Structure 1
Amino acid sequence: MSLSRQRCFSSGRDSVRSARDFVRDVLAEWDVPDRREDVRLCVSELATNAVLHGAQPGREFSVRLSVEGLLLRLEVRDSGGGRPEVRSPDADQCSGRGLRLAWELADDFGVTEHAVGKTVWPAFKIASAPAWLRSRA
């Protein structure tokens, strides 16, 4: 059995905080106790990238969380072109670490390209499925 929740956000700066809050609230509602901070850090970095590089002006980006078994997946989809690459910036560079952080924290990571835009997704192994989800299986 699986579960998912998705929300769209405008491409403004306040949307990064709103995306973090959305993830915090969903993980609390689903009673997923582990990996919360890793997931929140990843959504913060990926939402920032969507706002700065991915979402076209006037367009939205979306954040989706899903749990299937013991795998929690975060997806951030935007309408921008190009394929994001995990980089290793020099110590004196002020940016370029967001995808690297997500890649390092996640147990799996990828980019799915669409006809318009792309989805960047880290996935996290969790210790146990939410209790109420286990009871339905």
Structure 2
Amino acid sequence: MLLDRSFGHDDITVLRHEVSAHLGRIGLGPDRRHGYLLAVNEVITNVVLHAGGNGRLVLRVESGSAWCVVTDSGPGIPGSRLSEVRAPEAFEIGGRGLWLAHQLCDEVTTATGPIGTSIGLRMSLEALPDSR
């Protein structure tokens, strides 16, 4: 386990720097690291804004990939937001966090319900050709 930390609104910047430092130490290249860090930032910001303000982040390396799992105890993500993760229209306010995570990460997992949400973000440590 690289990092296991509870967070709230005031912790977002420090947490983002901690995650970035760990990703650099495990060898994630700069381009993929920055994209992955953006996805992590979007998910933790969503927790603060939409899921009660507090969450937990666990960062680990498993099977050649970085895994970041973010959990909260909010009301869950509405099914309509998960059934088809799409880019929001230009005039829509918000709604880009999960879409960005799906664009930037190699894998995104989501478990959600009335007692909270857990989102897993996976990024392979090996440089992969851009197939998106």
TM normalised by structure 1 equals 0.76
Q: Which of 42, 47, 59 is residue 45 of structure 1 equivalent to?
A: 42
Q: Which runs of 4+ in 1 moved over 6 A?
A: none
Cα pair distance change 1:93/1:4, threshold 3 Å: same
The reply on whether 1:32 has 2:32 as its aligned counterpart is no
Q: What is the number of residues matched between the two proteins? A: 120
User: What residue is the counterpart of 1:135 in the other structure?
Assistant: none
**In structure 2, what is the Cα distance between the partners aligned to 1:110 and 1:50?**
16
Unaligned runs of 5+ in 1: 129-137
Secondary structure at the aligned position of 1:67 is classed as strand
Secondary structure at the aligned position of 1:21 is classed as helix
The two structures, once aligned, show a CA RMSD in angstroms of: 2.1
The AA in structure 2 aligned to 1:108 is: E
User: What residue is the counterpart of 1:76 in the other structure?
Assistant: 70
The reply on whether 1:23 has 2:22 as its aligned counterpart is no
TM normalised by structure 2 equals 0.78
Identity of aligned residues (%): 31
Rg larger in 1 or in 2? 1
The reply on whether 1:95 has 2:94 as its aligned counterpart is yes
